[in-house]
Amino acid sequence: MAKPLQNALGGLTLVVMLIALYLVFMWVPTEIDQGIVQRIFYFHVPCAWVAFASFGLVAIAGIFYLWLGGQIWDDLGYAAAEVGMLFCTLVLITGSLWAKPIWGTWWTWDSRLTTTFVLWLMYGGYLMLRAMADDSPQIARYGAVIGIVAALDVPVVIISVRLWRTIHPAVLVTRQGGHGLEDMRMVVTLLVSLAAFTLLFAWLLMLRFSELRMRSRLNAAAREIAIARLRVGAA
Amino acid sequence: MRPFAAILRKDLMLELRSGRTTTALVSLALLVLVVLAFALDRAIAGGSDAAAGAMWVALVFAGMLGATRVMLAEQENGCLRALLLSPVDRATLYAAKLAAAFIFMLGAALAAMILAILFFNLEFSNAFGTLSVALLLGALGFSALATLLAAISARARGGELLLPILIVPLFVPALIAGVKASASALSGAQFAAAGQWFGVLAAFDVLFVAAGYLLFEHVVGEE
């Protein structure tokens, strides 16, 4: 991965993130019913989007790894899982902070909370597998299989948990009940914030991915050296 | 079909001769229910919900041991390598292992059901049909998942620790559906009341049997 591209992306992320912060804290009007806490929405939703996107990416990278092979896909999947886990944790934390004043509780077993939490547990398992068994030669295949299986499970989790219970506001999906974004400025802020977090995601992913690529190359080089040594010893 | 039958027969014969897995499964289901009977004393005395939950907890814990035993046993003395060297399709191997795990899980489910009914004085004559279908579907889904993941954990370092961490979150949808269907049955609802939960369980089963069948080959790999 080219260093200048990485730095450019980092710079762009910084600029857009600063704009997003300005919009969220200075520009966007305060929501009437919920007050100031509603502003966390502009961080919460982008984090959720990034978390879901990166878990999707884990599954796609897994499919490509099993289909085409190539360490590059495994590195991509691993990097995406790590970054996704970070944002998934942020979704749960920002959601909790919002829920305390609005719902009166830090945590409740609502459908979306439960789904996100189950996802968090699944990818926690994925990362734990990688952390504990990273030196096993089959780890890339295991990672790919777990990534795919977890993604397959997501729709069933969503359906089952929704049948189970729900109280989460559906801001972006349905607009009845006055939960939609009435002010145009709210929509703009959300979109800028989404862009900022997507850039942040891409930048973090790129950093981690290039690091993992380097590690794979070093491992390959170490293997070659070991083989060469053996040859010299045999000769 | 012959390799499938041969592997399944081997696993069942091994179990008939030693009886280890069944003993462990039933004792574990029993102990989980005993623990829950003390831990949730009032709740279980008061309602069918807690009893249904206790039954599924027993099933999951027993399954974690039993359904994975089928794969883990192959690790000893390099049996898995021998199986992989034999001219058997990977998918057939998975199907045979899944079938063996499913049979053990059915044993665990039966034990969990009978013990839960016994311990918690449940009225089960009307609930029997719903309970059986729910446990049957749950056991199948769990076996499919556990067989695939046990193949991973058997060969990864720290695998025994990882297995429950990987299985439980993935099993959540089936667990929700199973508990809900069982609770509705034990509270005296009709068979049809559990329809949507049977749908979730069946979807889970189809998905994970298919996923395991297709992905198992990648888990065990070329060697």
Q: What is the C-alpha to C-alpha distance for residues A199 and B12, in angstroms, rounded to an integer? A: 55
Residue B168 CB neighbours (<10 A): 17
Could you state, in chain order, the average pLDDT of each consecutive group of 10 residues for chain A (235 residues)?
A: 81 89 82 77 88 91 88 90 92 88 81 86 90 78 89 86 68 51 79 89 91 89 90 81
Q: Which residues pair with B143 in a beta bridge?
A: none
pLDDT tens by residue, B166-213: 899 999 999 988 988 888 888 777 777 778 888 889 999 999 999 988
Give the C-alpha distances (Å, rounded to integers) separating A83 from A78, B59, B106, B197: 9, 35, 40, 34
Q: Determine the Cα–Cα distance for residues A81 and A89; give it in Å rounded to an integer.
A: 12
Q: Does B170 touch chain A (CB under 8 A)?
A: yes
Beta bridge partners of A35: A31
pLDDT tens track for B33-83? 888 888 887 777 666 778 888 889 999 988 888 777 777 778 777 787 888
One-letter amino acid at A160 equals: S
CA distance B124 to chain A (A): 24
Structure tokens at A185: 């400025």
Tokens of B132: 């059986």
Q: Which residue has the tokens 């080959």?
A: B217
| Domains of chain A by residue range | 23-234
Question: Do the Cβ atoms of B74 and B14 come closer than 8 Å?
Answer: no
Chain A residues near any Cβ of chain B (below 8 Å): 66, 118, 121-122, 124-126, 128-129, 132-133, 135-136, 138-139, 141-142, 144-146, 148-150, 152-153, 156-157, 159-161, 163-164
Are B196 and A163 in contact (CB < 8 Å)?
Answer: yes
ipTM attached to this prediction: 0.84
Q: Do the Cβ atoms of B204 and A150 come within 8 Å?
A: no
Element (H, E) at A199: helix A184-234
